[in-house]
Structure formats: C-alpha cells, structure tokens
C-alpha cells in the first residue's frame, strides 16, 4: 500500500450500500484515503432513501453518481469491499478483499436504511483504523 491507501466499495447497483460506505469513508478519513465506489450493474441514480439517511448525519452524497466497475478502478485500489454482488463482482489478483454482508437498502423504508447506514459506519470506522489512516474522530 502507498502512503495514501485506496478503497473501492462495490455493490450491484452502486446506488445504496457502496455509496453510503464511500460517503462515510470520505467523511471520516478526509483526504487521507482515496475513495472509490462502483457497481456491477449500476443504476441510473442513487437511492433517494440512502441520500436521506446520509443527510440525517450531515453527509451529502447527492453529488455522486453510480459508476460501472472497471478494471482500472479495481487495479488502482488497495482494498476492495464487496457488498452483496456475489459472482457479479470479479476477483482481481493481489488485492485485499472484504465482503460485508449488509441488507440491500433498495425498496426499504427509512428505518431499515438507517440501520444499514449505522452498520456501515461501524465497518468503515474499523477499516479506517485497520488501514492506519489518520482521519477525523469516529
């Protein structure tokens, strides 16, 4: 890993879980970690309930758009965190992988998405500590 680790969050649609995780990591790590997110089958927009859940904790993800997972993004990342994309997420040799089993927020009410958001925060905080990156206090 370089002095500035890089993390890629991947889920199917890149509209909920991976966007919330990327939002948390950007918020908690500042510019100490390069943050990417992508999907194996990206949606055309971010899940509005995920946007609302993140807004409640003062994190704005409205400027993000779902992206297709690319070889370049994976190759440029030190850690790849998958979230429910199963076989649709290709394996890239030489990368550290984590698979986070999280409820898919698609079609879920705000209360459920809040739980997913809070679970993601705990996981991102642990990942940030593991990377040894200096970020804001979690």
Mark whether 89 is an active-site residue.
yes
The angle at the Cα of 137, spanning 134 to 138, to the nearest 5 degrees, equals 110
**One of 21, 46, 85, 120 is an active-site residue; which one?**
85
Burial class of residue 17, CB neighbours in 10 A (0-12, 13-18, 19+): buried
**Among 10, 11, 49, 116, the one annotated catalytic:** 11
Which residue among 89, 113, 116, 133 is the active-site one? Answer: 89
Which run of H or of E encompasses 7?
A: strand 6-11
Residues 6+ apart with CB under 8 A from 122: none
11 as an active site residue: the answer is: yes
Query: Which residues form the catalytic set?
Result: 11, 85, 89
């Amino acid at each position: 890993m370089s002095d500035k680790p890089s993390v890629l969050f991947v889920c199917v649609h890149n509209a909920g879980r991976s966007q919330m995780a990327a939002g948390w990591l950007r918020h908690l790590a500042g510019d100490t970690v390069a943050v990417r997110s992508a999907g194996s089958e990206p949606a055309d927009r971010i899940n509005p309930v995920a946007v609302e859940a993140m807004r409640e904790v003062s994190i704005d993800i409205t400027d993000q758009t779902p992206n297709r997972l690319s070889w370049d993004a994976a190759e440029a990342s030190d850690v790849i965190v998958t979230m429910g994309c199963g076989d649709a997420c290709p394996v890239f040799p030489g990368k550290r992988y984590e698979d986070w089993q999280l409820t898919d927020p698609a079609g879920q009410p705000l209360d459920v998405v809040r739980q997913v958001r809070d679970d993601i925060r705990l996981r991102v905080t642990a990942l940030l500590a593991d990377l040894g990156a200096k970020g804001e206090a979690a």
